[in-house]
Amino acid sequence: MFLSKNKRITLFFSSVILCFLGGLVFVSLSSQLYQQDTLAQVIHVKNEPPKAVTDEKGNKESHITQQLTVKLLNGSLKNQTFDITNTFSASQIKNQQYRKGNKLFVTGTQNPLPSLTIVEAKRDTSLFVLTLLFVLLLFIVAGRQGIFTFISLCLNSVLIGTALLVYRSQNDQLLLPLFLIISPVLIFSTLFLLNGYSKKTKIAGIATLFGTYLTFCIGFIVITLLQHKGLHYEEMELITRPAHTIFLTSLFIGCLGGVMDIAVTITSSLTEIAANNSALNQQDLKQAGYSIGSEITGPMINIMIFSYLSGAIPLIIIFLKNQMSFNYTFSIVLSLELARALVGSIGIVLTVPITIFLASRILSSKVKEGKI
């Protein structure tokens, strides 16, 4: 006996919620799984009065010292308690404030008595909750498509992770060629999982490939001709691999994301229009496509710019608070982000006519043949 559709949906979401709760309990109680790290939980906190501190630049800030009592959750000294001193600033840039119930990774010494030092806070529980919440909302809002979206996300993560592992074990110049090679797989695997083997997948995939490679070629040629002038790689100085290769790879990946978004949006819209009006010809579809493109190009470019620049805000504030000039701060901190945003925006603009041309040509022929 088969279950009704409503019962299947109820059973599915009940299973997802149970997995969510089970995963949360598992992560919260997983202290014994940490074989190489010592985990402790804060059981008592005493905050001392704040002390005003002024640095050499004249910036004033309060420093607070905490006396923490922690209980070890694993290891040979499990359940023993220790006292730890933690000092943090009001901004919590370098050290953070801890509260009762927080879990910490600690390291111990025997000089001459056992003592502990905080390594960092245990954050995987929060990250796990956010991840599960994202997956749960994805399934609730998108339903069956949400499942395929999650599968494509996992598949792309595996492909990118594999490429990075190969790069780590090979020479320094291999990163960009690797991503140039696997990008068609990333594009078509995602579109195939979401739309199946259809004209929509073909149009969006081809448009994404053309738009991404064309945009990257433009950016690569301009940057190479200018000999990377104006691009400051200081924020990547700790990387032991060539910074310019990593930057160009990030430029390509950023283009891919924005271009795919715009290509899928226009293709899906024109496919629906063609399916609901068999009297439309190629010119009508082009006009509809440009109307859609003009509406979404502005918001997409803003999203591209804001998503890149938002990550630099903390560093901008630190530079400005340390008396760095406005021009110096923005040239050092934002040069790479602006380059990524500008090249990505060029990709969005170029992809609009490419997608419209492909979609209108293919869909109009399908309309004439009565196959849409």
Predicted confidence at residue 371, as pLDDT, reads 62
* Alpha carbon distance 343, 309 (integer Å): 14
Cα dihedral 183, 185, 186, 191 sign: positive
The secondary element (H helix, E strand) that includes residue 116 is: strand 114-121
Predicted confidence at residue 243, as pLDDT, reads 81
Q: Which residues contact 140 (CB under 8 A, 6 or more apart)?
A: 13, 146
How far the first Cα of the chain sits from its last, in Å, is 36
Predicted confidence at residue 353, as pLDDT, reads 93
* Alpha carbon distance 116, 85 (integer Å): 9
Cα dihedral 319, 302, 151, 123 sign: positive
Question: In the numeric block, which tokens belong to residue 192?
Answer: 């195939």
Q: Rounded to 5 degrees, what are φ and ψ at 198?
A: -140, 170
* Alpha carbon distance 335, 233 (integer Å): 9
* Alpha carbon distance 322, 318 (integer Å): 6
Q: Are 142 and 169 in contact (CB under 8 A)?
A: no
Predicted confidence at residue 1, as pLDDT, reads 46
- Alpha helices by DSSP H, listed for the chain, are 5-28, 124-142, 144-169, 175-195, 199-225, 243-276, 282-310, 313-321, 326-369
- Give the DSSP letter string of 172-204: TT-HHHHHHHHHHHHHHHHHHHHH-SSHHHHHH
* Alpha carbon distance 135, 133 (integer Å): 5
The residue extents of the domains of the chain are 39-121, 171-368
Residue from 289, 277, 295, 336 nearest 312 by CA: 336
Beta-ladder partners of 116: 108
Residue from 346, 107, 328 nearest 218 by CA: 346
Could you tell me whether strands 60-72 and 38-47 are parallel, antiparallel, or unpaired per DSSP bridges?
antiparallel
Predicted confidence at residue 4, as pLDDT, reads 64
- Per-10-residue mean pLDDT of the chain, 372 residues long, equals 63 74 70 70 87 76 87 81 86 83 81 74 82 83 83 90 84 82 90 85 92 93 87 75 85 89 91 81 87 90 86 83 81 85 92 92 74 61
